[in-house]
Amino acid sequence: MVERPEDLNLPNAVVTRIIKDSLPEGIAVSKEARSAIAKAASVFVLYTTSTALLVTQKNKKKTLTAQDVLLALKEIEFEKFVEPLEESLESYKKSQQNKKEQKAAKDKAKKADEEKSSSKAQEEPMEVQTTDGDKENTDD
Amino acid sequence: MASKRDLSNNLRPSSLWNDLNFLSILNSSSNKEENPDKDKSKVNDPSTDGQIKIVRNKHKPRISLARIRKMIKESSLNDEPSDEALFVIDKAVEIFIESLVSESYENVKLNNKRILTRRDVDVTIENIDSLGFLIGVLD
């Protein structure tokens, strides 16, 4: 079932970073403590996910959704997490939406550019202006 | 048998865990406009008696979503978590680690130490009901 042990673990660097950010300056963390916290976090992921899946299955769905996860957190006594998570989720949805819109606008602009340059190539080459006309304009 | 919360030698009821002010810090990060370019900054506010304030990009996942997706797949739990589900799990783990560390740190403070050890983590797990799922799991 499990291919490699590291696949079931969260990236060490990120866990260490979060631990560090959660402590004031100058507080060290023992290797064993760090390892225990990382493992606890991994177990938390699996525990939360498996509970959430029960919710998914109860609703006769196939896809695990954010709502399933939030409900699961309430069931496993982590209800306090739900409100900040809902807020984070809202921000996330907005930022994803912005990204989508930006990409669509970019694609549109790119397409317009491409059309412009291809139609330009079909025009006859313009004659080069003489300098006389320019001199007139630079007086004053 | 004495209840866990009655132990007097350097253990005490886990008030921080139940203190919603801690979690409200996460909500207040949206009001911080000072460092929009930084992903996170750490501020030690003396007025809160050493309590840590953490500002972070709350709409950005910290743990790679791909890794969480892989974890779920490898453990054969599910094949199709939605992106939003992955994001919520990512953030939930972040909050989980912060809560576990902050609570364990209370024990460090109580004992006037400068290092957080495995023992501090164990004590926290024993004391907090919702962490019961970890008992016996961490070796």
| ipTM score for this prediction | 0.77
At B38 the pLDDT is 41
Contacts of A95 in chain B (CB under 8 A): 59-60
Residue of B71, B34, B13 lying closest to A39 (CA atoms): B71
CATH number of the domain bearing residue B123: 1.10.20.10
Yes or no, beta carbons of B92 and A89 under 8 Å apart: no
Specify the number of domains making up chain B: 1
At B57 the pLDDT is 66
pLDDT digits (tens, 9 = 90+) for B17-52: 544 334 333 344 334 444 444 444 444 434 433 333
User: Please, what are the domains in chain A?
Assistant: 5-78 (1.10.20.10)
Instruction: Extract the residue ranges of chain A whose pLDDT is less than 50.
Output: 1, 134-140
Yes or no, beta carbons of B105 and A23 under 8 Å apart: yes
Q: List the single range of B6-10, B60-64, B65-69 with lowest mean pLDDT.
A: B6-10
pLDDT (mean) for B84-113 = 95
Q: At what angle do helices B65-74 and A31-58 cross, to 10 degrees?
A: 70
Residue of A69, A77, A40 lying closest to A53 (CA atoms): A69
Q: List the single range of B30-34, B71-75, B80-84, B87-91 with lowest mean pLDDT.
A: B30-34
Asked, for residue B59, whether it belongs to a domain, the answer is no
Residue pairs between chains A and B whose CB atoms are closer than 8 Å = 212
For residue B63, what are its two tokens? 């743990």
pLDDT digits (tens, 9 = 90+) for B102-128: 999 999 999 999 999 999 999 999 999
Yes or no, beta carbons of B85 and A53 under 8 Å apart: no
Nearest-by-CA chain A residue for B27: A84
At B116 the pLDDT is 97
At B113 the pLDDT is 93
Yes or no, beta carbons of B80 and A64 under 8 Å apart: yes
At B17 the pLDDT is 56
Rounded to whole angstroms, what are the CA distances from A102 to A94, A96, A97? Answer: 12, 10, 9
Domain membership of residue B90 as a residue range: 80-138
